Each structure stands twice: as structure tokens, then as C-alpha cells.
Amino acid sequence: MSASIISIFIVAIFIENFVLNQILGLCPFIGVSNKIDSAVGMGLAVTFVMVMAGVATWSIQAFLLIPLQLEYLQTISFILVIASLVQFVEMVIRKTAPALYQSLGVFLPLITTNCAVLGVALLNIKKNYGLVESAVNSFGGGLGFFFALIIMAGIRERLDVSEIPEAMRGAPIAFVTAGLLATAFMGFSGLV
């Protein structure tokens, strides 16, 4: 049991990395990876929301939708839960860290539409995970997102000062870099 939990954790971080392997949550990945500071804040916020959302949506599915046979309301109810969670996190960050709030800007409310969050909720259900497994998978997924974001922010700070052809500046070079990073992450696939 505990071995499988550890393997779910490792798989979620490295092998099925949400950004680089499953291609989820790209908007903040490209949008907020300009500076390491905001990348750290965003990564932590997303990780937190993912764990909370993973647990909350699993409970809704198990205790509300399945007993009442309302599985077709899955998408609608999940997105509602996630939207309220994000609102909550936003209020907490605004109170406790106004500077971080400023630098995250528009991307904070956009966590709602971050497909990694809804994605992890749907994947937990699809893979028939229990509560603990869902929480671990969500946490690992969030950490994987966090790592990918920070690595990317580090590379992009270097890219800013290098000479890049006019047409490749900004988003295009970021995507090509992400491609190379994803290739590197494929090397983890034999890990578990």
C-alpha cells in the first residue's frame, strides 16, 4: 500500500509531469515563467489549489454524485468547487502577501481556468483513486508543475539576455525550450 502511494507520488512529479508530459496548465506555464519570484508564488498557489481541489472533488464525487446518480453533473460541480477555492486562495494571498498578489496579477484568478487543476480532479476519478491516493496524486502533480515552472523561469531569465532572431522572441522560443525540457523529462520514464 505505502509503496504504491510513493510510486504514485514519484510518477506524478516526474514521469507524468502535468506540464511536460500531459500538457496541462500551459497558460500560466508560459505566462508566469518570466521571473523566478513570480514562478515560485504561482507554483505554490497552484500546488495548494490542486491538493484542495483534488480532495474536495473526490469527496463530492464519492459522497454526493455517485449516491445520487448525478455523475453527469461532474464537470459543472467540479468547476464550481475549483472556482470557489481559487477565490479563497486569492483572498488569503491578498491579505498575507500583497507584493506577491501584485506580481501574480491576472494569473491568480486564472488558476480557475488552469487545466491542471480540473485535469487532476478528473484524472483522480478516471483512475479510480481513493481519497489518500487522490491527495497524493494531486500534491505530486502540483509539485511537478512547480518544478517545471521554476526550471523554465530560470532558463527564460537567461534567454532574456541572449540574442534571439526577431520572429522567435517571446512565446516561440519559450515553446521550443519547453519541448527540449520535455524531451529531458522523458528520460525519467524508466524510473518506476
Using CB under 8 A as the criterion, which residues of the chain lie in contact with other proteins when the complex forms? 20-27, 30, 72-76, 79-80, 83, 109-110, 112-115, 118-119, 122-123, 126, 165-168, 171-180, 182-183, 186
Nearest approach, Cβ of residue 80 and other proteins (Å): 8
The Cα 145–Cα 17 span in angstroms is: 7
For other proteins, the closer CB: 84 or 97? 84
For other proteins, the closer CB: 99 or 187? 187
For other proteins, the closer CB: 66 or 176? 176
The Cα 93–Cα 34 span in angstroms is: 20
For other proteins, the closer CB: 6 or 80? 80
CB contact burial 138-162 (16+ within 10 A = b; e otherwise): bbbbbbbbbbbbbbbbebbeebeee
- 31 and 175 in contact (C-beta within 8 Å)? no
Nearest approach, Cβ of residue 75 and other proteins (Å): 5
For other proteins, the closer CB: 7 or 112? 112
For other proteins, the closer CB: 56 or 79? 79
Nearest approach, Cβ of residue 30 and other proteins (Å): 7
Q: Hunting for cell 496579477 — which residue is that?
A: 105
DSSP 66-114: TTTT-GGGHHHHHHHHHHHHHHHHHHHHHHH-HHHHHHHGGGTGGGGG-
**151: Cβ–Cβ under 8 A, 6 or more apart, which residues?**
181
Nearest approach, Cβ of residue 39 and other proteins (Å): 18
* Length of the chain, in residues: 192
Nearest approach, Cβ of residue 124 and other proteins (Å): 11
Nearest approach, Cβ of residue 106 and other proteins (Å): 11
User: Grid coordinates representing 26?
Assistant: 500551459
